[in-house]
Amino acid sequence: MRAFLREILIIIIAAIGIFFLLQTTVQSFVVVGASMEPAFEQGQRLLVNKAVYRFREPQRGDVIVFLHNQRADYIKRIVALPGDTVEIKKGVVYVNGSNLYEPYIKDTPSYQPLQKEIPENEYFVLGDNRNNSNDSRNNWTVKREEIIGKAWLSIWPPNQWGLIAHYPLQEQLSSTKLFPQLPQVEMNHGWSTMGTSMGNGYLLQLSH
């Protein structure tokens, strides 16, 4: 009897340990909004890797979830890193003087000219649905400590199941001479918050 109770206790302790480990490494969200289309759609469920940036810094092309203005979590794609110079002109995004090939954006963007050097420990982010996105073009960047994690896995609906695609800068730059600039998007997520304003896509937090 004692052996049986000991086994039950071990199982319970292991289950609790696994539960708390998952809470610190993975978080589940539901997408509300269209700002990151076509990569992410309304009602799509995602898992976010909260541990990856403990071992390396965020990279250009990463899709990240972050806390915006201490109120709501957004999901965007990193375009430029601390110290980079971003320029938008004639409908094209340039990073450090090189124009980007962006196959992930939805429609041909309508851009306003912009030039910005990214401050230390901050990131310039854009939505893939550029014409319906509140992002760094609106004169804000993402601080390193605001990043929650990297979008990792789509778990719902079934036809969207799979690892989330990320586009390293090298991959984008290698194609700029062969392909023209294409369009992009945005989103965000709030703890039981519904977005109503144009350009804000929200994520509902399913678990901590």
Starting at the edge strand found earlier in the chain, the sheet holding 92-95 runs 98-99, 92-95, 85-89, 114-117
Annotated active-site residue 76? The verdict is yes
Give the DSSP H/E element, type plus range, for residue 106: none
CA 40/CA 75 separation, integer angstroms = 10
Asked if 150 is an active-site residue, the reply is: no
CA distance 84 to 69: 23
Q: Which residues pair with 28 in a beta bridge?
A: 47, 207
Given 35, 133, 136, 154, the catalytic residue: 35
User: Which residue type sits at 79?
Assistant: V
Rounded Cα–Cα distance for residues 162 and 177 (Å):
30
With H, G, I as helix, E, B as strand and everything else as coil, classify residue 25. Answer: helix
DSSP letter (8 states) at residue 151: E
Distance CA 180, CA 131 (A): 18
Q: DSSP character for 84?
A: -
- Which tokens in the block code for residue 189? 């997520």
Gyration radius of the chain's alpha carbons: 19
Active-site pick, 50, 76, 106, 150 = 76
* Rounded-to-integer distance, Cα 197 and Cα 185, Å: 15
Q: Which residues are catalytic?
A: 35, 76
